[in-house]
Structure 1
Amino acid sequence: MTEADRRWLDAGWRFVSAALPPAPARVIEIGCGPAGGFVPFLDSAGYDAVGVDPEGPAGERFRRLRFEHYAPPEPVDALVTCTALHHVDDLDLMVDRMAAALRPGGVLVMVEWARERFDERTATWCFDRLPTGEEDGWLHHHTQRWHQSGLPWPAYFDGWAEAERLHRADAIVAALGRRFQTRSLAAAPYFFADLAIDESAERAAGVALTGVRYVGAVG
């Protein structure tokens, strides 16, 4: 796990933990990643937590498969998903499976990325603040590829996002709205962990807030 990952998870946990029902609620994290995502935090806080990801760690707390192919033994109290939904193949299918996995009144806590708000001003602000001495991350990758392409930022970035088949955040929120009752929805800082700055510094910069923090519930 990189230092950027640690900063991201520490900050995200503050939002996630505040939105969850009390422990020992049953929680599934969708797309926990190879480092386990929030599952160690959930476990330490007393939750009955499982992480589902084809690239998740080994261990009894994890299931190495896609969430679309996972059948929980019984409905759970909460789902957590962090920057996983913009990658899925069939968004509506995923949302249906998520709603089916929750008990009535169960909570969905989502952290996502609004790639449609990542404009040139915000990208340039990020690239100018990339820390040195850390492992190259996705922002390093994009600043190099963009300059090599010779394209205007919208042409470069939109072309990359469409080639990767990344869902827009507004499409994700709309899909959730068909199955969940929205409790809260807010734009939030997204790049602070990679830039080794505080969330407050990103908020104060006046750039686009491309993070999305959502809490919803099933009826």
Structure 2
Amino acid sequence: MLEVGCGRDGGIAPALAHAGHDVLAIDPEAPDGPLYHRIKLEELDDPGPFDAVVASRVLHHVQPLGPALDKLARLAPLLLLDEFAWNHMDEPTTDWYESQHRLLVAAGLPPKGPPDLAEWRSSHAGLHPYETLRGELDARFDTELFEWRPYLYRWLDGPASEALESALVDAGAIRPIGFRYVGRTSSKRTPTASGP
């Protein structure tokens, strides 16, 4: 398996290896160790094939996205993503998140996420919106699984944040902005300039 964007903490590569998978995890800031290579996706010269590619909260950053997805489609027949639709944060979702952030700060438990989402958006210009990411995925992969999921709890770090966010999403009070996606390389995929 190939993990793209494992980060400094090593991502899920150790868990995959512990489960018996052969794993290669890549990231420019990957930790030391036999599972890891400190490279960007475009620098990867391993031709594979891999059984699957796994990426968690990475592809919305990748520039240019199309050629990167073409490469992933060539490397493995299966793509498993844990992503987020940052541009789907509506006013109730933003208000809830920012109020939870303030409460945690007031309780002496400052979360890792940004306090102001408008400021976060302005400092992260260039991220792919959900619609772009999904369109590029659909051009290369057939969807086997798609589900909306809570996401903001990851930024809040509070002990009850995930359960609270899930309950509010289920009640329709806030929007889920996380999503899980499994795609299989499409047999009807058309060749692109960057590869077959």
TM-score range, shorter chain: 0.7 to 0.9
Aligned counterpart, 1:194: 155
Distance 1:200 1:138 in 2: 17
- What is the CA distance between 1:170 and its match in structure 2? 1.6
CA RMSD of aligned residues (A): 1.9
Identity of aligned residues (%): 31
Q: State the Cα deviation string for residues 36-63 of structure 1 (Å, max 9, x = none).
A: 0001111111111111100111111011
Gaps of 5+ in 2: 188-196
- What is the CA distance between 1:200 and its match in structure 2? 3.9
What TM-score do the two structures reach when normalised by structure 2? 0.82
Code of the aligned partner of 2:113: W
Contact 1:50 1:61 in 2 (8 A): yes
- What is the CA distance between 1:118 and its match in structure 2? 1.4
Aligned counterpart, 1:178: 139
Aligned counterpart, 1:209: 176
What TM-score do the two structures reach when normalised by structure 1? 0.74
- What is the CA distance between 1:136 and its match in structure 2? 4.8
Counterpart of 1:75 (choices 43, 49, 53) is 49
Distance 1:34 1:213 in 2: 22
Contact 2:47 2:75 in 1 (8 A): no
SS at match of 1:112: strand
Aligned counterpart, 2:84: 113
Q: State the Cα deviation string for residues 161-198 of structure 1 (Å, max 9, x = none).
A: 43xx1001121111011111111112110012333235
Counterpart of 1:137 (choices 84, 109, 112) is 112
SS at match of 1:137: coil
Counterpart of 1:37 (choices 6, 11, 26) is 11
Gaps of 5+ in 1: 1-26, 147-152
